[in-house]
Amino acid sequence: MPATKNLAAPPRLTLWAETAADLMMANPMSINGDATVHEAIAALTDHGYSAAPVIDEAGRPLGVISRADILVHDRDKGKQGTAAYYELADLTTGAGEHLGAGFHVESVDQTLVRDIMTPAVFSVRLDTPAEKVVEQMMTLMVHRLYVVEEDGTLVGVISALDLLRHLQPTK
C-alpha cells in the first residue's frame, strides 16, 4: 500500500470588497446607440473588449453590443445575399478612368448598433453588497454587470476578472 502524503489544505480565498463600487472599473468604454456597426467593431477591437454597453445621450445604458451580436448580424446579412466586398472586372472612377481587375468596392454597412444590440442590461447600484454582485453574476450566468447610479447613469463595470482581482488568501 503506497504511503499517503499529509498535504496541507490550500488557503481559503476571501473577496476583499464590500460593495459594487469597490469591485468596479470606473468609467467603462461605451458605445452610443447611433454608432454604426463598423464603429462598434473598431471600438471593441481597439480596446480588446468582447462587449460594451450601448448608451443614450444621457449616459443611460440601452443594451449591450457584443462580438457575438456582430457575428450574428454578419451571418444574417450574408443570408440576404449581401457580400461585404464586390470584385468588379470593369471598375471605373467617377472620371471614367478604368482601374482594371483586382480592385474592390467596399459595401459600407450603415446598420446602427441599437438595431443589433442585446436590449438587456444587467446592472447593480454602487452600494450593492459584493456578495450580491457575485450571486447575480452566477444566477444570470453573465461575465459582467454594469454599475449605475440611482438615476440610471452608467458609472462602472464589474467583470469576472475584477472579482478574481479582489480574491486574497484568508489570513
Each residue's pLDDT tens digit, 22-66: 999 999 999 999 999 999 999 999 999 999 999 999 999 999 999
Mean pLDDT of 108-121: 92
- pLDDT the model gives residue 85: 47
User: What is the pTM assigned to this prediction?
Assistant: 0.76
The angle formed by the CA atoms of residues 146, 150 and 154, to the nearest 5 degrees, is 35
- pLDDT the model gives residue 171: 73
Q: Is the pLDDT of residue 94 over 70?
A: no
Domains of the chain, CATH where assigned:
16-169 (3.10.580.10)
- Give 18's pLDDT tier (boundaries 50, 70, 90): very high
- pLDDT the model gives residue 76: 87
Q: How far is CA 37 from CA 15, 67, 74, 128, in A?
A: 37, 10, 10, 33
Half-sphere exposure of 28 (CA within 13 A, CB side): 32
Helix (H) or strand (E) holding 74: helix 67-79
- Give 97's pLDDT tier (boundaries 50, 70, 90): confident
- Give 95's pLDDT tier (boundaries 50, 70, 90): confident
- Give 105's pLDDT tier (boundaries 50, 70, 90): low
Mean pLDDT of 57-77: 93
Instruction: Name which of 8-12, 22-26, 65-69, 150-154 the model is least confident about.
Output: 8-12
Mean pLDDT of 54-81: 88
